[in-house]
Chain A
Amino acid sequence: MELFRNTNIDFLGKKWYFLAFSLIFSVAGIWSMLFWHHIPWGVEFRGGTLVYVKFAQTPDLDQIRHALDAAGLHDPKIQRFGPTSDNEVLVDLGLQETSEAALDQGKNTIIRALEPQAATGKQDLNNTGAAGLQAYLMQKDPMHLGTDAEQRYTQLAHQMDDFRNQQRGGILNSIDDLRGIAPPEVLSTLQQDFFTSNFVVRNVEIVGPQVGKQLTKQALYATLYSLGGMLVYLWFRFELIYGVGAVVACLHDTIITVGFFSLLDKEISLTVIAAILTLIGYSMNDTIVVFDRIRENLKLMRREPLADIVNKSINQTLSRTILTSGLTFLTVLSLYIFGGEVLRNFSLALVIGILIGTYSSIAVAAPMLVAYQDWRAKKAGQATVERLTAQRSKATSNNKVKVKA
């Protein structure tokens, strides 16, 4: 089976369509970055408190907002997280609730507000980890184990924790759910001091303002160094104009990807930055393959115009380009669809990046080469034309002598 055998598409001829396409998306993205959603920085960059809570049943967002308001949190962003069947909610407090004097104050307020039975003095079993369970069991010693207590209770605590996390998605509906995992005397002791709430805190991210600023700087530096490094490497392997063309293509890819995130209002977290740096590397990959072929063909086809050589090179590498981009795209698509909510924005960046990266090698880098060559040729060409005509007139005047005989 073989696709793309002997294609002969005039890519360079379509360069105005490509330019229009790129311009539309770049401008839309930049406009959104400046005026609409701006750049939706993730919490590691802007600071703030993020609490991911999973509920036993479908959560009522209004009820949650009400409870938080009563607790003194007046401006949280509350939204569903992940597929609806997961019953997960994300509570996003801004920077004002996240002072460095009491970093986890916002989180603690949220947890207290969501626990209606906290007033009874009992502890929430669903938000107690294995260590807490073990400490409690050691203190109460319901099985009267004496010296063997520590090992046995550690094992039991881990068994209960694993059962809850792996079989019940983190939430127990009642203490009786543990029947069969723990002996009855343990269960009755737990009944005295614990209750089961209807939620569990899955993930917490609290970032103070200092760390956020530091990280933003680091991310920017990393991107700039990456691009700079590529430029130097390509300058070595090819000529400067190749390096510039490739870097411009990469910048184009970055702007369009970030623009997409801005348009769709998807958060740019640290892992998304990692994805963007990866796609810069990938786009560079792609561009190099085309450039390699162009360089090879330049040696073989000396007399043909540059535009034809470039076209032919792209056509020759088309099969390889579409195939590898396609395969990498399929693996990243698998990640986007099956990889879970935590990686979703990361894989989105890669999905967009691979498509745009492939496109840019053909539509941005290659035409830039030709355009630069043409521009240089035009500048040099004017001088050549003048010199040629002057010489010819001199030559014809000499010929007059020969004609006479």
Chain B
Amino acid sequence: MNKNLLAKTILIIAVLIIFLFGILGIPSSFTGKGLLAAVQQRIHLGLDLKGGTHLILQVQVNDAINADSDRAIERLKEDLKKANIPFAEISKPDPQNRPELIAIKGVPPEQSSDLRRIISDKYPEFDLVSGAQNTWSLTMKTTVADDTRKKAVQQAIETIRNRIDQLGVSEPVIQEHGLGDYQILVQLPGVDDPARVKEIMQSTALLEIRQVIGGPFPSEQAAMQSSGGVLPPDAVLMKGVSGVHGQDQANEGDVYWLVSRSSAVSGSDLRSADAGHDENGRADVNFTLTGDGGRRFAAFTGSHVGEKLGVVLDNRVKSVATIQEQIHDQGRITGSFTEQETQDLALTLRSGALPASIKYLQEVTVGPSLGADSIREGVRAAVIGMVVVMVFMLFYYKAAGINADLALFLNLVILVGFLGYSGAVLTLPGIAGVILTVGMGVDSNVLIFERIREEVRHGKTPSSAVDQGFAHAWTTILDTHVTTIVSAVILFLFGTGPVRGFAVTLSVGLLANLFTAVFVSRVIFEAVLNRHTRGEALSI
């Protein structure tokens, strides 16, 4: 038995050292300050303890589908013209709710087979269905639409991550959130000005270059009047700045432009962008397009020389220029920008554009002073709770109380060490979970000790009483721990941030308790009994 005991003791000490390392790493010094600094480095604090911003945003995925179907309409018009198939109108009857549905009107029935051929050859991602009175419905396939939506969310996450990286936030969390509603969770520790972050993330969400059909108009009515009182089917009314490229702008009054519905090139065609200065020393932004984007831009500018194009940012016309000549893949945006604005603009363009706009659903900001207070109060409560329990155990169970206290201490070391190793964040409810582990952990010891007392009362020898105590209590301990861990796991699955922190500390604490209350306590008892003389009573 002695050899076994030695092996077990070594195991326990090894566990202690391993998890102490998890908490402290290798501290620079063993003074109070050195140890505190070491702990702060290893243990990651959640937002509610460190301070920071938590945002939940929703990607408006229908924007991405709308962009795809708009482009398809433009291409289809070109293709039908080339194939000499007349048509009256190709448009979307309900772009808001059914962005994937295109209606084609006025194709003569003799050419329906030609239409079908073109669609099946060049538009495989759409389904063609004939309707009443020479109309056809072109619907994006559900798989394709779903795929586009999912990709939009993924691209949004990448783009946001790029932009936030350039802000220099340490350890940001950007990930998909929730169950299938195209939501993204963004957590930025240490950031207490969410307004600036949101500006960076959202303000230049959608970059497009579109053909300017008419304008500038001083009001909506004037714009409508210019095209005969009704909006042309492929045009959209948009607000924007009044200046034409090159002119100084005295005021930023809103004017209206008639802009084409589809874009010549969009943000995804952008390769790079830089802030610079133009010939007059004014701040401007130079941009370069990708090869494919450059080709399309060349085609567009080549066939629209002398006409106007507009740089549209987030559905606002930011800059209008006359196309002097065919432009391939290099362009420049000038306006009355400040240095800061060109920097921000270039930053946004560089990180790629968001494929769809984003809507904010939730915003939580924890100030750093609150975080500091929370840590202080949480740790204080934990220490007081622990001290009360430990003192009580000493009084009530005498020497065996030391046993329980040692097991409790090891339990906490394992729990906090695990947090250090796994990088799991410690939140305020997490600290509460530690406190709860203390209370529930000592439960196991009480179960065992009460049973041992009972056996001693029934006349068993100390060694046999200890055996019986552990044997009988084991099933109950297992049952109680499993049920609480089950509810903690459910909490983890359904909860967010702070609640997850609680679930983690509770589960890990209880698992560690299974080890300390049963194995470690037993070893300590055996060690004590080893030193006992025959017939000596058990101090419990």
Contact = CB atoms under 8 A, between A and B. Distances in A.
Interface string A252-282: 0000000000000000001101100110111
A96 B506 CA distance: 38
Contact of B368 (A103, A165, A230): A165
B483 A342 contact: no
Interface string A284-326: 1100110010000000000000000000000010011001100
Contacts of A200: 367, 369
Interface stretch (B33-41, B100-108, B378-386): B378-386
A226 B490 contact: yes
Contacts of B499: 270-271, 273-274
Main secondary structure of the interface of B (DSSP, over half): helix
A161 B487 CA distance: 40
A113 interface: no
Contacts of B325: none
A337 B381 CA distance: 8
Contacts of A240: none
Interface string B346-361: 0000000000000111
A338 B377 CA distance: 6
A36 interface: no
B429 A350 contact: no
Contacts of A319: 450
Interface size class of B (residues with CB under 8 A): 35 or more
Contacts of B432: 335, 339, 343, 346-347, 350
B429 A274 contact: yes
Contacts of A108: 195
B398 to A, nearest CB: 8
A100 B361 contact: yes
A7 to B, nearest CB: 13
Contacts of A221: 494
A367 interface: no
A323 B487 CA distance: 23
Nearest to B167: A131
Interface size class of A (residues with CB under 8 A): 35 or more
Main secondary structure of the interface of A (DSSP, over half): helix
B181 interface: yes
Contacts of A94: none
Interface string A168-204: 0110000000000000000000000000000011111
Given A52-B370, A170-B367, A278 B436 contact: yes
Given A100-B361, A324-B440, 11 more contacts: A104-B195, A206-B364, A222-B491, A270-B495, A271-B429, A278-B488, A328-B443, A330-B385, A335-B435, A338-B384, A339-B435
Interface of A: 1-2, 44, 52, 54, 100-101, 103-104, 107-108, 128-132, 161, 164-166, 169-170, 200-208, 210-211, 214, 218-219, 221-222, 225-226, 229-230, 233, 237, 270-271, 273-274, 277-278, 280-282, 284-285, 288-289, 292, 316, 319-320, 323-324, 327-332, 334-335, 337-340, 342-343, 346-347, 350
